[in-house]
Amino acid sequence: MSKFERQTLTVDGVKTVVHTAGHGEPLVFFHGAGTVDGFDFAERWTDRFRVIAPYHPGFGESGDDPSFTTMHDYVMHYLELFDMLRLDRFNLVGLSMGGYLAAKFASEHGHRIRKLSLIAPAGLIDPKNPMLDILAVPGEAVPGLLVSDFEVLKKKLPEKPDLDFMGDRYREAGTVARLFWEHPGDPKFMRYLHRIKVPTQIIWGEEDKIIPAGQAETWRKFIPNADIQIYKGAGHLVHLERPEAVDAVARFMG
């Protein structure tokens, strides 16, 4: 049974589901553009931190808001949520699209962040190491691209996906399309990354087929003092394939 407790809040009219577990300094986790990986991996953090894992609007158990068309909409959503939760200052971890969101939040509201950890973060425009156009990939092909060893992800997937499971994936893909179809990259995001002054960690799987690990060095150009760790034998969901990467986040945050 998961350690996480489920809480439902209404943020500016949007149903927002938050999973919380553990004690200690608060650690917020922003998930990526899909939610099949779940939050169980984050139980490794709960001995040292109070882990707060919300579902973004349009994903997982949270409600939809079609007016959310930019990442800034999500930044504002989380400002409201954190105020409701009375989270003044916290550690922030973001995965993939959640890494994009975490970096944007930190560049705009760094005074609220203690430490920042980005796991295979999206958001950069890097012509030498371009991100895969995930919206152009057939849905059935996406899971195989997420990991180096598919057996790791297979445990998270139903043996025979039902209509509810497929509907959830379609809904999340629609949210991603609404955000990135017309504007897959935002140069202004990169312009303000220099405002991130908090200790920052960047983690990547060496075999990432979604966002090449080569982007890590490009991130270093914008955040020069970032601690970069690349894990061999792991793909985009490095936190599932390499538990030591999850432990590395805890050590860094501690």
pLDDT digits (tens, 9 = 90+) for 198-229: 999 999 999 999 999 999 999 999 999 999 99
Rg of the chain on CA atoms, in Å: 17
pTM for the full model? 0.97
Residue 183: what pLDDT?
83
Residue 106: what pLDDT?
98
DSSP 140-152: GGHHHHH-SSHHH
Cβ atoms of 224 and 202 within 8 Å: the answer is: no
Domain assignment of residue 139, given as a range: 5-253
- Number of structural domains the chain divides into: 1
C-alpha 234: how far from its chain's center? 17
Cβ atoms of 249 and 242 within 8 Å: the answer is: no
Residue 44: what pLDDT?
96
Residue 1: what pLDDT?
45
Give every residue of the chain whose pLDDT is below 70, as ranges.
1
Residue 192: what pLDDT?
96
Q: How far apart are CA 220 and CA 212, in angstroms?
A: 14
The phi, psi pair for 215, rounded to 5°, reads -65, -20
pLDDT digits (tens, 9 = 90+) for 85-113: 999 999 999 999 999 999 999 999 999 99
**Domain containing 176 — which CATH number?**
3.40.50.1820
Residue 185: what pLDDT?
84
Residue 253: what pLDDT?
97
